[in-house]
Amino acid sequence: MPIVNSFQMLLDAQNRGYAVAAFNVENMEMSQAVIAAAEELSAPVIVQTTPSTVRYASLDLFAANIAALAKYAAVPVAIHLDHGDSFDLAVMAIRAGYTSIMIDGSHKPFEDNIALSKNVVAVARPNNIPVEAELGKVGGKEDDSDGGAGSYTDPHDAKAFVRQTGISALAVAIGTAHGIYVNAPKLDIERLDNIRKQVDVPLVLHGASGISDSDLMQCIKTGICKVNFATELRVAYSDGVKDIISKSPDTYDPKKYGAAGRERVKQACMDKMRICGCVNCC
């Protein structure tokens, strides 16, 4: 089917008590793996790219790649700009065919974050494109996005932020971090519950790679409707490539590397979809 936007996906997840798994991809093979996993489990899925990923290739290339894969998929697929770092990039993504946008002004002062997010919403809404924004700051580093030690989302600020910006989804900071965890994170589930009570838009969890299954399921039970995975997919793809090289160092066909990485990513995606509870939700 044609690519869809993420709005109805997240509303369905919110109403039915599961989360849509959203996966960051870096190349064609990872995109194939994500959508193949979704098809096998009859799960809706969001395929994401970050600013550094689209600089590596281009918005047009990823949009065309994912649209081509989605065309023959039997499940709904959205293409999402993750951690969009400027108004201009958000606009370019919409023009390229992205069906979901995140604008990340979390590093800015509160009022500036509101202004940036509101401006992106004003451009996206006439195009029927939902907008995700972040309040508080998810710690750690992902590509060029460096949240440092992070800062928590204030529930009362969240209410004002959603009301003033008109965003469709809110990414919250409750103790997660991007990248690989050195120590197990301590998540503030009570804070998440308070945010859920203050806002009615779907809530998004970033930095989920490395969180325990039980913690992740608790977050979903408390109101998270979309969960982002990036680092674990990179590790899975790289492990597949390394395995081929270590076993057959004379291999020169890149398709063999790609196929091995793709299979590892597919299995990782299926594992996360099961934890998110979105299996057989199409």
The residue among 150, 209, 148 whose CA lies nearest residue 184 is: 209
Q: Give the three-state DSSP class for 58.
A: coil
- The whole-angstrom separation of Cα 137 and Cα 271 is 27
Residue written as tokens 């809530």? 203
End-to-end CA distance of the chain: 12
126 DSSP 8-state letter: G
- The whole-angstrom separation of Cα 207 and Cα 228 is 7
Residue 46 in tokens: 């969001």
Q: How many CB atoms lie within 10 A of CB 189?
A: 16
Residue written as tokens 């959508």? 35
β-sheet with 145-146: strand ranges across: 145-146, 139-142, 177-178
Q: Is 154 among the catalytic positions?
A: no
State phi, psi for 20 to the nearest 5 degrees: -80, 130
Tell me which of 82, 85, 104, 154 is the catalytic residue. Answer: 82
Catalytic residues: 82
